[in-house]
Amino acid sequence: MDGTGEARNRREHRKDKTTSTNSADRRLDTIASTRTASNMTKPRKTAKPTGSAADFIPPRPTIARLRAASKGCQGCDLFKVGTQTVFGEGPSTAHVMVVGEQPGDMEDRAGKPFVGPSGKLLDRAFDGAGIDRDDVYVTNAVKHFKWAKDARTKRRIHKTPNAGEIRACFPWLQQEIALIQPRVIVCLGATAAKALLGRTFSVMKSRGKPIESELAPAVFATVHPSSVLRAPPDERVRAEKMFMADVRAVGRYLVKAAPERTAQRARKFSGWSTIAHPSAISSASTPSSHE
């Protein structure tokens, strides 16, 4: 891939990002370096939240270091509610970053994002869009499961995170974006979209279209897969079709933005020897049971 337009573009994109986040990084480094090793261990449930995940960002962060440090996060009250921090997962070379709302019941138990029914639907959507699952990093706007016990069934019912919790957790997501440098970010549902695109952003008005943003060459938004799974029977088929179509738009964008990568994949799968294209360029909720 080195030497191609794709690689060049990616490097330049990284360079821009590095420059633009330098002062923030330095600030975070300073904060983080004042913390002690005891902050990295699982916090006591009685501890008082600090108000921001920024207080837990390690110096010289890598995804592995961030994941380890996030286990001790007490940036907001949710560390007392969820079983464990559910950090993002996927290769650090991923071109696509998917941002959900918060881990669900199964993710909270497993400690991994999108392992439940929403994740299964997401996998099908990627398949249908020709997006390689190995090219996707999945994460959430909020990294602890917020829930309340249903009085009747005793089941843990998902509760939508509030603006303060989303704000407190944002530094983790910011760091993930800065390190992964995805070509495309896909926001699933209003929580992720508002966290990344602003409070006035409307998923319904702008779904399935590339949105210009400083976060990545393109940001897409669509509904949360759990809203598809919860749709009433007469709307379910249509809701799923629309969700699939939104994810296909991401697939098309990726092909358009990096044709040589698609050629590489074609070579990998067919065994044909094709010549890499030398001129490859790139432009660039309601409270419910979120599974």
Q: CB-wise, 13 or 109, nearer to ligand URA? A: 109
Q: Which does 74 bind (CB under 5 to 8 A by kind): ligand SF4, ligand URA, none?
A: ligand SF4
Output the six-digit token pair for 103: 């881990």
Q: Strand 147-149 to strand 156-158: parallel, antiparallel, or no bridges (unpaired)?
A: antiparallel
Shortest distance, position 102 Cβ to ligand URA, whole Å: 6
The CB-of-193 to ligand URA minimum distance in angstroms stands at 12
User: Which C-beta is closer to ligand URA: that of 71 or that of 267?
Assistant: 71
The phi and psi torsions of 177 (rounded to 5 degrees) equal -65, -45
Q: Please, where are the H alpha helices in the chain?
A: 5-33, 63-70, 105-110, 117-129, 163-180, 189-197, 203-206, 225-230, 233-257, 259-270
Q: How far is the CB of 85 from ligand SF4 (least distance, A)?
A: 5
**Residue 140 interacting partner from ligand SF4, ligand URA, none (CB closer than 5 to 8 Å by kind):** ligand URA
Q: Which is nearer to ligand SF4, 53 or 97 (CB)?
A: 53
Q: Which is nearer to ligand URA, 72 or 103 (CB)?
A: 103
Note the residues at the interface with ligand URA (CB under 6 A): 100-104, 107, 113-114, 116, 118, 140, 226, 290-291
Pairing of strands 147-149, 184-188: unpaired
Any idea which residue has 């390689």 for tokens?
A: 132
Interacting residue ranges for ligand SF4, rule: CB under 6 A: 53, 70, 73-76, 78-79, 85, 142-144, 165, 168-169
The CA distances from residue 58 to 28, 36, 73, 173, 276, in Å, are 8, 10, 11, 14, 40
- Residue 9 touches which of ligand URA, ligand SF4, none (CB < 5 to 8 A by kind)? none
Nearer to ligand URA, 187 or 280 (CB): 187
Residue nearest to ligand URA (CB): 100
In Å, how far from its chain's centre is CA 112? 12
In angstroms, the CA 104 to CA 213 distance is: 28
